[in-house]
Amino acid sequence: MTNQELQARKTQVIARGQGNLYPVYIERGENAELWDVDGNRYIDFATGIAVCNTGHSHPKVVAAVKQQLDKFSHTCVMVNPYESAIELAEKLTQAAPGNSEKKAIFVTTGAEAVENCVKIARAHTGRRGVIAFNGGFHGRTNLAMALTGKITPYKNLFGPFPGDIFHAPFPIESHGISIEESLRALDTLFKVDIASTDVAAIIVEPVQGEGGFYPAPAEFLRALRERCDEHGIVLIADEIQTGFGRTGKMFSFEHADVEPDLITMAKGIAGGFPIAAVVGKSQIMDAPLPGGLGGTYGGSPVACTAALSVLEIIDQENLIARANQLGQLFNERLTLLQNQFPEVIHDVRNQGAMIALELGKSATQFIPNPELTQSLIAKAAEHGLILLACGFYGNVIRFLPALTMTDAIANEGLDKFERLFSQLSS
């Protein structure tokens, strides 16, 4: 079967809501490279949306998973648990930022981790309100979608939304939103829409992911911590895209030296196996009653085993330091490209290996360029690249290389990107 034939079959049987960015059907992946059913090779700058931080099919993850499958595949951690789940909870509570005593729960996807944070925060505080930020992304399930701060394509057609969800502006200096303005809006929210004493939680991504790879300034995260402490609000860090070494720290909140109360973990946790977690301060995590949290597949033994081996690889292969090296390599090369095309490259930025190229239409003012962004994505596969876009304005190319990517592959991929960019921009 060819890519074309498979895409024709797909559109017949999979609803358009679950779209695919590329009509490229993968046959094989190895570290940072992919091969499709037509025999084409790609350099992967997407890692399945920040999931395969340890590359595709890392031999150690594959071996650990095979070994687990020979023993058993599922018992449900809420019926008959197993040591790998305990060991993973021990390691994650240890790895989470801050010194407070922590506990974990396991679920299956990022959105589910977000939903559970809200349940836990509400149970702990006995309050109803949750505040999220404009441009934030927290998932596609009902409550997570309501927290997401962007209508198209995530929310239109899907109302009514759950109540008691509020949004405040996220500080992005280049979009004209200062930290002060964002904090003032939060304080106004407490005056206009919901009393601070009714707010259970504030949820924030330390670097907005789908929203455009905008890092939350450290000063802003510290100010959120202060407000949460002042008003008895639970601070939730959504580290689903930023976690597991991606930003050059194990978790991005470490850059600001802030300890959140609850942390969502998913994506990079297990090299592609569906597992997610909430890790947080024990006295908050223990608020729900036994049986109030969890699910059939949460903490699957296969995924727990994969996650344990991912943690080992991050440590043994120094992937946190590698994220910073890769970030620097990408930033330097993309900055050279910016010097060549100052009128369309508005900004190059990175936090570790979460790297963004923001496209505009003027060298002197911020005018988003979603059209150029879309044409780069549309042509990427023809150039042997898997690339993703993001951004509140749809004008950001995001680079999420595997942290195990070699310099040679990174440079080859960037050569391809430069050729593609020059073709479309001159």
What residue ranges bind ligand PMP (CB under 6 A)? 49, 109-111, 114, 137-139, 205, 209-210, 238, 240-241, 266
Nearer to ligand PMP, 271 or 360 (CB): 271
Name the CA radius of gyration of the chain, rounded: 21
In angstroms, what is the minimal distance from the CB of 161 to ligand PMP? Answer: 17
In angstroms, what is the minimal distance from the CB of 133 to ligand PMP? Answer: 11
Dig out the tokens for 74 from the structure. Answer: 């599922």
Listed in sequence order, the residues at least 6 apart from 393 whose beta carbon sits closer than 8 Å to its beta carbon are: 212, 368, 370
Largest Cα span, the chain: 62
Nearer to ligand PMP, 114 or 410 (CB): 114
- Classify residue 295 by burial, with Cβ atoms within 10 Å: 0-12, 13-18, 19+: middle
Residues 128, 234: Cα–Cα separation, whole Å: 12
In angstroms, what is the minimal distance from the CB of 110 to ligand PMP? Answer: 2
* Torsional class of 118: left (φ above 0), alpha (ψ -120 to 50), beta (otherwise): alpha
Type of residue at 97: P
3-state DSSP helix/strand/coil % of the chain, to nearest 5: 40, 20, 40
Nearer to ligand PMP, 209 or 360 (CB): 209
Nearer to ligand PMP, 167 or 416 (CB): 167
- Other CB atoms within a 10 A radius of the CB of residue 379 amount to 15
Nearer to ligand PMP, 215 or 360 (CB): 215
Closest residue to ligand PMP using C-beta atoms? 110
Nearer to ligand PMP, 145 or 405 (CB): 145
- Classify residue 47 by burial, with Cβ atoms within 10 Å: 0-12, 13-18, 19+: buried
Listed in sequence order, the residues at least 6 apart from 365 whose beta carbon sits closer than 8 Å to its beta carbon are: none
In angstroms, what is the minimal distance from the CB of 204 to ligand PMP? Answer: 10
Residues 371, 359: Cα–Cα separation, whole Å: 9
387 vs 232, 290, 302, 373, 374, CA distance in Å?
Answer: 41, 43, 29, 10, 11
In angstroms, what is the minimal distance from the CB of 51 to ligand PMP? Answer: 9
In angstroms, what is the minimal distance from the CB of 7 to ligand PMP? Answer: 22
In angstroms, what is the minimal distance from the CB of 239 to ligand PMP? Answer: 8
In angstroms, what is the minimal distance from the CB of 187 to ligand PMP? Answer: 25
Q: How many CA atoms lie within 13 A of 132 on its CB side?
A: 25
Nearer to ligand PMP, 145 or 311 (CB): 145
DSSP state of 325: H
Nearer to ligand PMP, 43 or 277 (CB): 277
In angstroms, what is the minimal distance from the CB of 109 to ligand PMP? Answer: 4
Residues 240, 277: Cα–Cα separation, whole Å: 9
Type of residue at 334: L
Dig out the tokens for 284 from the structure. Answer: 């908050």
In angstroms, what is the minimal distance from the CB of 252 to ligand PMP? Answer: 10
Dig out the tokens for 15 from the structure. Answer: 């609803």
Nearer to ligand PMP, 59 or 162 (CB): 162
Nearer to ligand PMP, 255 or 383 (CB): 255
Residues 401, 419: Cα–Cα separation, whole Å: 19
Check whether the bond before 153 is cis (ω within 30° of 0): yes
